[in-house]
Structure 1
Amino acid sequence: MARLEGRVRTTGELIAVISGRAPLRNLHSQVLWQLGVSIVRGDYPEGSILPADSDLLQQFSVSRTVLREALKTLSAKGMIEARARIGTRVLPRQRWNLFDADVLAWHFEIGPDVEFLQSLAEVRIGIELEASALAAQRRSDAQAEQLLAWADRMGEARTAEDFARTDLAFHHAVAQASGNPFMASISALVELALTASFTISSPVEDANLLRIAVLTHRRIAEAIANKDPDAARAAMKIAITEGFERSAARLAADGKVK
């Protein structure tokens, strides 16, 4: 669970609120969420067999069709595998699709450790540094102005959710300005990583941290506007590193470092 805007919400609810994704309203998504979180949390360890369908049907009080769709979705994410006369087995973690938005959200729902956050930051560095460099080479004048405007709007945020929405828009704009459709597609991972990170810590909680975050993003926007790919890479790396360090510090302060 995470807290933003005064009440406790699941990570799934926060992602829906911040990024505009569909909330967890139908039975399929609710069963999928609960099973996914249980597997990631280790309630059903790797290599173990899930309870029989009859037991799961009783547990969730849903139709067989709803349950089968949820299990089919988990299978598509590389998390489980059904075998005749054996049952549905939880697959090794290395088989899971960690680029999947739901799988990432389930990790944040149970509370990621610092190592997981660091791995995610390293992936973002591999993606977003080159996206920002390409944006510096290919951006239009309108895109450069838009990035500068988004950076300025970050400083106007008064709530964690407002800052998160603005930050998402900024990084999405960088991906679009790169002119590479694959970068724009991969930015979905970045979107989820950013959204989920705000369930741990937001710079809005500290005036100095907010000022630093705004200045860092302003430097990215200015480097892209000045068509300086090296400066764009350097500024983007600082932004990602600062976000990781802020989340890691909050986990440590809350005694949740694993």
Structure 2
Amino acid sequence: MTMQSRPDFGRVADATLSNADQVARSIGSDILSGVFAPGSKLPSEAEMLARFGVSRTVLREAFKTLTAKGLIVARTRVGTTVLDSVHWNFFDADILAWKVAQGLDVDFIRDVAAIRMAIEPAAAAAAAEQATPEDIAILRGCLSRMAEATSSASDFAHADLDFHKAVGYASGNVLMRSLAAVIETALLASFRLSSPVREAEVHEESVQGHTRIVDLIEAGDGAGAAQAMRAIITHGLDRLERASAPRKRKTTK
């Protein structure tokens, strides 16, 4: 592999990140995309220093970051090796952000949905027991924002994300409360991709589905709220899979 002689941080440098973080992001993204495959060795330290134009201290700090995230391991007289993906911590905010930046594939979309299906219905059920009037007001505020977002996929996605975070908060369970924050980047990207604002009927259906969750939480119907949450996750996954499916080319006879 030919290493570049000028600094290369994979994309435009982010002024909010340190040099070590930028190097870690670039190498981490290369690992996630398969440029550096599991089991392969990273280029030598000299090559990496030439590529990024940073000090040895900065490069080693970046390697420490990637090691902590389960992406690489360094061994004496062996070098630095990319670990198998089973070791990668996809609950790490940086790894999720790097993955999302490369685009959401169908398998990853389904993995995110499976995690949500395991946790969010239980959070909705718990919220039916624990939610305060203030929690309900916050949820209904999110519904209003979703209903008003008829032309902006980004506005709808942020309101949708805030809704699901609010359900987790209303559950009273600190772990459920943290889940949406942990996978926030992936959720926001998936909500944008599956945004219903492009179709008025689908938009209305989504708002009504979320409204049903709040109504059942407010009524104290845990089982109903859980089922309504499962329906919303399934509805979103269906839209994501349709959006991700390759379009068939029309054939001319």
Instruction: Work out whether the TM-score is over 0.5.
Output: yes
- The answer to whether structure 1 residue 231 and structure 2 residue 224 are counterparts is yes
What letter matches 1:59 in structure 2? R
Residue 197 of structure 2 is matched in structure 1 by 204
- Contact kept? 1:105, 1:196, Cα under 8 Å: no
Q: Per-residue CA shift, 1:152-199, capped at 9, x if unaligned?
A: 210111312211221121111111111111111222234223112145
Which 5+ residue runs of structure 1 have no aligned equivalent? 1-11, 14-21
- Contact kept? 1:147, 1:170, Cα under 8 Å: yes
Deviation at 1:221, TM superposition (A): 1.1
- Contact kept? 2:67, 2:73, Cα under 8 Å: yes
Residue 195 of structure 1 is matched in structure 2 by 188
What letter matches 1:221 in structure 2? V
Residue 92 of structure 1 is matched in structure 2 by 84
The 10-residue stretch of structure 1 (65-74 or 174-183) with the greater mean CA deviation from structure 2 = 65-74
Residue 82 of structure 1 is matched in structure 2 by 74
**TM-score between the two structures when normalised by the length of structure 1:** 0.84
Deviation at 1:65, TM superposition (A): 2.3
Rg bigger for which structure?
Answer: 2
**Cα distance in 1 for residues equivalent to 2:49 and 2:102:** 24
Cα 1:216–1:190 shift into 2, 3 Å: farther
The 10-residue stretch of structure 1 (25-34 or 223-232) with the greater mean CA deviation from structure 2 = 25-34
Residue 8 of structure 1 is matched in structure 2 by none
- The answer to whether structure 1 residue 156 and structure 2 residue 148 are counterparts is yes
- Contact kept? 1:148, 1:222, Cα under 8 Å: no
- Contact kept? 1:147, 1:221, Cα under 8 Å: yes
Residue 19 of structure 1 is matched in structure 2 by none
The 10-residue stretch of structure 1 (91-100 or 185-194) with the greater mean CA deviation from structure 2 = 185-194
**Cα distance in 2 for residues equivalent to 1:95 and 1:175:** 27
Residue 39 of structure 1 is matched in structure 2 by 31
- Contact kept? 1:155, 1:211, Cα under 8 Å: yes
**Cα distance in 2 for residues equivalent to 1:223 and 1:183:** 19
- Contact kept? 2:128, 2:216, Cα under 8 Å: yes
SS at match of 1:112: coil
**Cα distance in 1 for residues equivalent to 2:121 and 2:64:** 36
Residue 215 of structure 2 is matched in structure 1 by 222
Residue 6 of structure 1 is matched in structure 2 by none
The 10-residue stretch of structure 1 (180-189 or 48-57) with the greater mean CA deviation from structure 2 = 180-189
Deviation at 1:254, TM superposition (A): 5.4
Deviation at 1:228, TM superposition (A): 0.7
Residue 245 of structure 1 is matched in structure 2 by 238
How many pairs align? 236
**Cα distance in 2 for residues equivalent to 1:238 and 1:189:** 22
Which 5+ residue runs of structure 2 have no aligned equivalent? 1-10, 249-253
The 10-residue stretch of structure 1 (58-67 or 88-97) with the greater mean CA deviation from structure 2 = 58-67
Residue 17 of structure 1 is matched in structure 2 by none
> RCO (CA 8 Å, sep 6+): is it higher in 1 or 2?
1
**Cα distance in 2 for residues equivalent to 1:109 and 1:254:** 22
Deviation at 1:23, TM superposition (A): 7.9
Cα 1:121–1:202 shift into 2, 3 Å: same
What letter matches 2:31 in structure 1? I
Residue 132 of structure 1 is matched in structure 2 by 124
